[in-house]
Amino acid sequence: MGMRVRRALSLMVVVGLTGLLSGAAGGAAPTAEAAVAAAVGLLPASLQGAVAAPAAAPPVRTVVPAPAAPAVLPTTRGQMRAVRVAPVVVPGTPCRSTARACVDLSGNRAWLLDDGEVAYGPVPITSGRAGFRTPPGTFAVTFHSRDHVSSIYDAPMPYSVFFNGGIAFHQGSLSQLSHGCIHLSRTAAREFFGALDRGDLVQVVS
């Protein structure tokens, strides 16, 4: 059977080439698959099954990569600072470099920070009295009110910068404790009012 298959294959090659050349001479050359199929048809029936027709090449699949998800960019200056600056303690303060304002309750001091460095301060402060202690923590500035008046205590709070509910930096007495706010001198209150933006981080340390 092996000798017969080899002879059959030789015959297929001869017939296939003859078909290709004759087709080319006539102006319409048959494909290689058509020539081989014709050659197989000329073989005896007992040998046609022993010769496999060439398998069709699998279709080529083009893989299109999925589009990358859009990057989420920081929107506020406080968020951009948190990305840009490594969170380390700023020398001379108890606060981390991601904060824009730093309050030391036990030391009665406050600073403005910028890119992990002291930009202003320390300045003296007073904070909440007994029963109204200023809570420690990290907060974000929510809004400003240049000529704010307390609706609870009917007291003026010039240059208010709110960062924890009703708690704010504002101009106030440096000899009397507050109801939770951070009192600053007029000069310092104006500096904090002008420097802090909505979303900036305020760190209050006990």
Give catalytic residue positions: 170, 181
SS3 annotation, 51-84: CCCCCCCCCCCCCCCCCCCCCCCCCCHHHHHHHH
Contact 123, 184 (CB under 8 A): yes
Compute the distance between CA of residue 67 and CA of residue 157 in angstroms, rounded to an integer: 52
In one letter, which amino acid is 130? A
| CA contacts within 13 A on the Cβ side of 61 | 3
Q: Give the phi and the psi of residue 96 in degrees, each rounded to 5.
A: -85, 160
In one letter, which amino acid is 119? A
Residue in this structure with the two tokens 């240059």, named with its chain if needed: 159
Q: Which residues in the chain belong to E strands, given as ranges?
A: 101-104, 109-114, 117-124, 137-140, 143-149, 156-164, 167-171, 182-184, 201-205
Q: First vs last Cα of the chain: how many Å apart?
A: 97
